[in-house]
Structure 1
């Protein structure tokens, strides 16, 4: 909420796209983006002091706070991320290390909040101290260790009565949910260290709240511009790559429609001398040389020169024909982004769909065709355009169009007329069984493909796990003599094989395609 506290909003950014194994997260990395662009605490006042407001006329800040209140109402907990002054300590040590400082502290409005209507109490101090104990194990510098900062907001002698207007106090008293402020110190020597300490605190709170990430690794890359998509005079947009110049005629109207970078949030475009700090997706008529400043939050990370000419004979708008930068492919429901000329490995039987190509300005051209060589999407009208068709790699491909006719490697080609704009390969491997985990009575075996294991008719057999190169295990069926054998269920071998059998076979099948077999020999 405060634009000059980057530790908070850059840390939150790392969690916005996090996959979770358990729980849910609502992440608002940049509630006050305008203040971030200005690198200012709050150009219209401190937004974190507006949660008690009930204005008759809503300012932009008030509208944002209203949205935040709606999100808080949907939540079970609240973490409010900040960078604070000095280093909090419960006793006065120095001007910058004392009870009035905020840095390196976990803040709550009270030690314990009692909810009389529900006959329960939120033990905020206990929660905060358990989190702090875990955080401080990872911090060696004693000055940087966290402390619990109980602002005692409701108490008449509190030195922090301003917190009555804060987001945490609102969440605690209006919605009765545990609410904490996480403050790293503005005095820390680097932004990376602020982000690290915020991450330690967030991760510890997530553990306390039993929110479990699938991928806990966090890494903050420097922002990097790939290209801009710019429309000139409402014509078909063009692509301007990093370090290229945009050449236009005097009076041309430009609109930056898209910024392609390694981040999605916190991006803004400023046309110097025109508009405001953020001119993204707005029309401007340009009459003099200027520049496009591309920012991530309040830091410029790329600059595109705009060169204006009045000579209509100069071919300033001649750009190279665009090439494919990436393919967007879905395999078994999961999306993959592949570079031009890259190879995608799949297993025969995987379901593949060409979603689209990048850049978007090329994908939208009417004369662009994306063709999977060896696949026909519409036999009645085969145009060669194969985007959005579901391709079964075991049944829908014509082997004679594969490389060398071996039914293993196929090409996806992007063309505009006779010109090839991009291509990639799809390499198909056969489904294969590495081993089957079988339990016979109390003994467990890892049995490789075509191997045998011995058992008696009165033994009980359980299929415990399958190790194969097939990512979707629910697509695999296990059968004996055509009858299903369910994983995890113990079954007597006599009931599986029959009474007079010396050997029987367990077949593993994916979509009618056998790929493994195990033999049980009767002793």
Structure 2
């Protein structure tokens, strides 16, 4: 094996790890998935694959930049593979919003957010999850698709040191005792033996990230640099070229390179069978989405009435081995995915567009019938919002009470026939075009994500207040307040092997003694919705209904986090005893 694992580099260690895992971690076996940020507009799906034989754990990731389709297709196919030895953690599509729009980035470049723990944009929340996943990994492989063809010397505009395509990238040849060159060079030799065209052969690209005079200082903010420097694990990027048009060929070569690297890192995997045509056609194969019961694209027109709440259902999302990300955009709110976001239509729009992994697969015109009913009661302006997926009507001057991590969507003004502009002061929906329009965007209520000088004093102790303002030209002034209270965990609900429920008072930083045995995690209770919390044990997410063991001599740390931000709320330690302390 060509690297030193994090801990003890021996098969004995891996066997011991499996024993300890069964004693002090969720009782899991085989393959399983977890969606971080469940219930938000952009859930993040992670696949865990446990091998038939013990071995190291390698994390493989694609899609950190949405215009690099080969990377996320390769990672997705790998997530459907069979692991013979070792374990895989696969994050196929790290940046779903940018994939939906086929853009490198939405707010900021996610692959430049690892030099510190940022907390401003959606990309920073994903980076927080990625850091968490890397805690479980003994090596990391990052899948990319870059422009041109890397060459250490300048040949022409497409072949030079500033191009990244057709390369295996390392931040340095040797880091501490990790010999990356020794891992990569044999893979390059074997991989290139099967590539006929010399221009398409892969090269070793050493960015010399840690050198003072490096030509690539931006790589110090990258994920591979973080994994290598902070976790002391091998971190390697495999980059195919955007200049090669045969997507099936690129995916096959990237998958082959990844399998070879995994072999060198101690993991054996057999990916699913596929053809080049499968890769070309998957995004348009078997996709079916309905809107209010009508199949999108079936006849080109859908009738809607103003005030209708859209009921969007993904009936079929295509071939399971590719599992494309679907997005439905209204023409007036491009970038707001209606498959995972609620919308009550207060203003007409012209069409709906369905995308599959960024490719447009259907579009439907909208025909509007009838008109929006008048606002109930007096003439006081009424704001329409969604709070955690539930419709909320707020009058001018009122206060909407929320909890840290809640999801807010500003819908508009009831009864208005104007083109409304609604602004949550302190929130920036589009950093490069801050026009004050926040309608439709998912807003995760976290004061740390907002511009602090817009924060107001609240009547509720500990709460932070922000103001939502109607800024529609020619419309009467109106506003309301949003009070964001800290989220307080109250208790954990567990089930024991006898089917009895246990209510454990929450004590962040404290400990609790339970009889030795297996328990089922039911839920965490707080001063807000239960689904806005997620639990982790050690370095693994713990879904509701999953079990974990508490054993003698193996204290188990259970952490509760914000489900929408993955921010840490607190940790309790469970220890085993003969009798529970209650």
Return the TM-score normalized by structure 1: 0.53
**Matching residue within 41, 57, 68 for 1:5:** 68
Decide whether the 8 Å contact of 1:104 with 1:183 is kept in 2. yes
Change (3 A) 1:65 1:225: same
Unaligned runs of 5+ in 2: 1-63, 372-582
- CA offset at residue 90 of structure 1? 2.5
The equivalent of 1:23 in structure 2 is: 86
Q: Give the aligned length.
A: 298
Task: Tell me the distance in 2 between the aligned counterparts of 1:144 and 1:111.
Answer: 23
Matched, 1:128 2:184: yes
Question: Structure 1 pair 180/124, CA: closer, same or farther in 2 (3 Å)?
Answer: same
The correspondence for 1:228, drawn from 262, 266, 289, is: 289
Structure 1 position 156, deviation (Å): 1.5
Contact map agreement 1:287 1:308 (CA 8 A) in 2: no
Tell me which residue corresponds to 2:156: 94
2:351 to 285, 291, 294: 291
State whether residues 188 and 202 of structure 2, in contact with CA within 8 Å, keep that contact through their aligned partners in structure 1.
Answer: yes
- Contact 2:173/2:179 (8 A) holds in 1: yes
Asked if 2 retains the 8 angstrom alpha-carbon contact of 1:19 and 1:215, the reply is yes
CA distance in 1, matches of 2:304, 2:106: 37
Matched, 1:145 2:201: yes
Q: Which has the larger radius of gyration?
A: 1
Match of 2:405 in 1: none
The reply to whether residue 107 of structure 1 matches residue 169 of structure 2 is yes
* SS state at 1:253 partner: coil
**Displacement of 1:95 after TM fit?**
3.2
Quick one: which of 128, 132, 136 aligns to 1:66? 128
Deviation at 1:148, TM superposition (A): 0.8
Residue 400 of structure 2: aligned partner: none
The aligned residue for residue 84 of structure 1 is 146
Partner SS state of residue 79, structure 1: strand
Moved more, 7-16 or 240-249: 240-249
| Match in the other structure for 1:190 | 246
Structure 2 residue 114 is matched with structure 1 residue 46: no
Residue 270 (str. 1) matches residue 329 (str. 2): yes
What is the SS of the residue equivalent to 1:258?
strand
- Correspondences of 1:411-490 after superposition (within 5 Å): none
- Local SS of the residue matching 1:254: coil
| Most deviating of 27-36 and 86-95 | 86-95
Higher relative CO (Cα under 8 Å, sequence separation at least 6) belongs to 2
Q: Distance in 1 between matches of 2:117 and 2:270?
A: 41
Q: Mark the runs of 5 or more structure 1 residues left unpaired by the alignment.
A: 115-120, 232-237, 312-523
Deviation at 1:226, TM superposition (A): 4.3
Q: Could you tell me how far apart the structure 2 residues matched to 1:249 and 1:109 are?
A: 54
Deviation at 1:206, TM superposition (A): 2.4
1:68 Cα offset (Å): 0.8
Aligned to 1:358: none
Distance 1:37 1:249 in 2: 25
The answer to which of 37-46 and 172-181 deviates more is: 37-46
2:295 corresponds to which residue?
240
Q: Could you say if the C-alpha distance between residues 214 and 198 of structure 1 is closer, same or farther in structure 2, counting changes exceeding 3 Å?
A: closer
Structure 1 residue 310: Cα displacement = 4.3
Distance in 2 (CA, whole Å) between partners of 1:286 and 1:20 is 50
C-alpha root-mean-square deviation of aligned residues, in Å?
A: 2.5
Shift of 1:139: 0.7
